[in-house]
Amino acid sequence: MRTASLAALGLAAAARGAGASILPANPVFGRTFTDLQGRDQALSAYVGRPVLMNFWASWCAPCVREMPLLETLHQRYPDLALLGLAIDTQANVERFLQKVQVSYTLLLTGTQGIPLMRELGNKGGGLPFTLLFDRSGRVADSIMGELDPDDIERRLGQIL
C-alpha cells in the first residue's frame, strides 16, 4: 500500500472538476491497493464520483450475506463507484469468487485494512464496514455492520 501527497490529491480533484469545495479529499484516496490481477489501483482515481467503499472478508458471514445487495446496487447505479476492500488474502478471495460472483471492483488490503478502518472511524475494527463518499472524496456517511436494503438506498440518496 502506498500513499500520495494531499497536494497531489487536491490537484487530481481539481483536474476532475470534483466540485467547488476547497476541502481536500479524505486521505484514504491517497492509498493504492492491488486488484485481483496484481495491478496497483490508486483510490485517487475515484475522486469526482460518489463512492461506496465496503470493507469485507471471505470468512465474515454478514459480509457474504450483503454481497448480493452490493452487486444489485452496482448494477442499479452506474455512476456509483463501488469498491470492495478485502481484509483477506488473494487466494481466499479467489476461492470465494468461485461461489459468489460480483462485478464490482475488489481490492486487497490484507491486514493493513484493519488500521485503515480504524482511521476511518471504525474503532473496533469490526466487519462489514461501509463508507459513503461524496464526489469531492469526503465521507458522507458510515455504516457498521450488515447493510439493510432500504437504509442503504436512503443513504445513497445523499451522494448520488
Residues 6+ apart with CB under 8 A from 94: 36
Grade residue 11 by pLDDT with cuts at 50, 70 and 90. very low
Which domain CATH number covers 134? 3.40.30.10
As beta bridge partners, residue 62 has none
3-12, 40-49, 128-137 — which is least confidently predicted? 3-12
pLDDT digits (tens, 9 = 90+) for 119-134: 999 999 999 999 999 9
**Mean pLDDT of the 63-89 span:** 97
pLDDT digits (tens, 9 = 90+) for 18-29: 444 556 789 999
Cell of 133: 463518499
21-35, 57-71, 124-138 — which is least confidently predicted? 21-35
pLDDT tops 60 at residue 8? no
Per the CB < 8 A criterion, the answer to whether 38 and 120 are in contact is no
Domain span at 30: 2-156
Overall domain count for the chain: 1
Q: What is the pTM of this model?
A: 0.85
pLDDT tops 80 at residue 68? yes
